[in-house]
C-alpha cells in the first residue's frame, strides 16, 4: 500500500507517507468531534506516534504463514488471556514489561509505529474504525511482536510450559488455592499467615 492506496489519512501521517500539516497539529482533526477543546485536539494529534516523513514509501503485509519476506513486525489479534500469556513470554526474555502508549483512536498507527520506533513489543486497542469496518471483536487486543524476538518467544513457550506457566490457563474456583512454593516462601518472609483455613463446622456447611 502506497500513499494513494489509503482511504483513511491517519496511517498516511502515522507511517510518514505525508507531512503532519498545520491543520492536523492544531487539533482540527479531533475538535469538535471527539474532544472538548481545540487544545485537547492538538495535544492528541501532536502526540499520535509517527514515523519520519519520507523514510518509507509504503507498507507490505501478508498472513504470517504465507509471508515470503522478512517482516518488520508480527501483529496478532488476541484475547485478554492470550495477551497475558504473551506478556509473560516477553518477561521471560529479559524481565522487561511492555510500556506502551494506548489510544482509542488510530489502531493501525498505534499497533505499528511504536514498535517500529522502539524495536519492542507493543499492545494496541482496536479503534472505532477497526471495530466498524474490519469487525474487531469486543474481546480482541492487538499484540505486536518483533521478529528478532521470535526465537526467544519459542524458547519461552517451552520453558514456561515446563515450569507450570504455560497453556492452558485453567480457572479454579476454590476458597483457598494452593500457592507455588516460592510464592509461599516469599509470603511467609513478609509475615503473611499462609496456613490453610480451619475446617468448617457442620453448622457452617448448611449454608
How would DSSP label each residue in 114-153?
HHHHH-S-EEE---HHHHHTT---TT-EEEEE-GGGHHHH
Q: Are 45 and 56 in contact (CB under 8 A)?
A: no
Chain segment 72-126, per-residue pLDDT in tens: 999 999 999 999 999 999 999 999 999 999 999 999 999 999 999 999 999 999 9
**What is the pLDDT, as a whole number, of residue 125?**
97
Give the distance, in angstroms, between the CA of residue 198 and the centroid of all CA atoms in the same chain. Answer: 42
**What is the pLDDT, as a whole number, of residue 70?**
95
Q: What is the percentage of the chain residues whose pLDDT exceeds 70?
A: 94
Which sequence spans correspond to the domains of the chain?
Answer: 3-47, 65-197
Chain segment 8-52, per-residue pLDDT in tens: 999 999 999 999 999 999 999 999 999 999 999 999 999 999 999
Amino acid at each position: 500500500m502506497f500513499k494513494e492506496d489509503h482511504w483513511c489519512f491517519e496511517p498516511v501521517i502515522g507511517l510518514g507517507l505525508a507531512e503532519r500539516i498545520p491543520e492536523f497539529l492544531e487539533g482540527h482533526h479531533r475538535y469538535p468531534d471527539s474532544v472538548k477543546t481545540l487544545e485537547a485536539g492538538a495535544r492528541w494529534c501532536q502526540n499520535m506516534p509517527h514515523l519520519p516523513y519520507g523514510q518509507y514509501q509504503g507498507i507490505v503485509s501478508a498472513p504470517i504463514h504465507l509471508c515470503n519476506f522478512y517482516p518488520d513486525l508480527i501483529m496478532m489479534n488476541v484475547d485478554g488471556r492470550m495477551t497475558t500469556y504473551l506478556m509473560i513470554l516477553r518477561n521471560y526474555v529479559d524481565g522487561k514489561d511492555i510500556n506502551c502508549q494506548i489510544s482509542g483512536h488510530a489502531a493501525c498507527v498505534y499497533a505499528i509505529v511504536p514498535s517500529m520506533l522502539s524495536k519492542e513489543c507493543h499492545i494496541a486497542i482496536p479503534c472505532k474504525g477497526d471495530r466498524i469496518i474490519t469487525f474487531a471483536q469486543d474481546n480482541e487486543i492487538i499484540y505486536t511482536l518483533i521478529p528478532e524476538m521470535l526465537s526467544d518467544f519459542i524458547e519461552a513457550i517451552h520453558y514456561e510450559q515446563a515450569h507450570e506457566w504455560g497453556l492452558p490457563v485453567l480457572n479454579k474456583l476454590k476458597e483457598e488455592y494452593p500457592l507455588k512454593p516460592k510464592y509461599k516462601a516469599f509470603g511467609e518472609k513478609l509475615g503473611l499467615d499462609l496456613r490453610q483455613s480451619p475446617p468448617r463446622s457442620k453448622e457452617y456447611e448448611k449454608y
